[in-house]
Amino acid sequence: MKKTFALLALIGILLAQPTYAAGELPGTLIGDGLLHSWTGASPHYTLVDETPCNGLGDYIYTYKVGNMDSFIVQSSATNTIHITKITITPCASKAVPLGDSYIQVGYKLQNGWLWIMSNPISLYGTTPTNIAPTSFNVDMIKSNDSNPIHVVVKYVSGIAGARVSGMKVDLEWHYE
Ligand SMILES: [Ca+2]
């Protein structure tokens, strides 16, 4: 009898859970992060934040393997939200025609300095275009942008350098 009651209580609790309003929204780049080793007029985020990507209009670039540039992302959600997926679409190319080049994109875990990175993304041509969207399944709570999302791009290997003209960030989320 006691067990039945407990079970009914549990069902009651489960039924009382609020229905989540889920959605997708664009993340807006609002500032440079602490990693800042690519070349470009400061602040760098203004060179990679336009929609749609403006190609050679303005961009950051590097020839040095290992260089990373990070950016601060703000969502347009005003309440506390639970983010479940971050998709980053770089608008990128090589800096010179000859040779291979690879970048990685990634995001920073909240409350730490661990970066979660994509697989290497091969670059082509010398005019940045949208390539290789990478989605990360995440488990982040964000409240009124007090703990913003950081995304990063890294020149990971190659000899042809890299140009990045855009870092499009899309979020999947639900209210807490
Ligand atoms: Ca640009």
Cα of 156 from ligand 1 centre, angstroms? 20
- Residue 152 in tokens: 């990063």
CATH number of 23-175: 2.60.120
With contact defined as beta carbons under 8 Å apart, do 53 and 129 qualify?
yes
Cα of 54 from ligand 1 centre, angstroms? 5
Cα of 68 from ligand 1 centre, angstroms? 17
Nearest Cα to 34, choosing from 149, 141, 150, 144? Answer: 150
User: How many Cα atoms within 13 Å fall on the side-chain side of residue 38?
Assistant: 30
Cα of 17 from ligand 1 centre, angstroms? 43
Separation between Cα atoms, residue 61 and residue 27, nearest integer Å: 22
- Residue-wise pLDDT tens digits, 71-111: 999 876 667 888 899 999 999 999 999 999 999 999 998 77
pLDDT for position 144: 62
Mean pLDDT within 2-31: 61
Cα of 29 from ligand 1 centre, angstroms? 12
| Most confident of the ranges 10-19, 80-89, 142-151, 159-168 | 159-168
Separation between Cα atoms, residue 92 and residue 56, nearest integer Å: 10
CA dihedral 20, 89, 47, 122 (to 10 degrees): 160
Cα of 136 from ligand 1 centre, angstroms? 23
The reported pTM is 0.85
In percent, the amount of the chain with pLDDT more than 70 equals: 84
pLDDT for position 21: 54
Separation between Cα atoms, residue 66 and residue 169, nearest integer Å: 22
Cα of 114 from ligand 1 centre, angstroms? 27
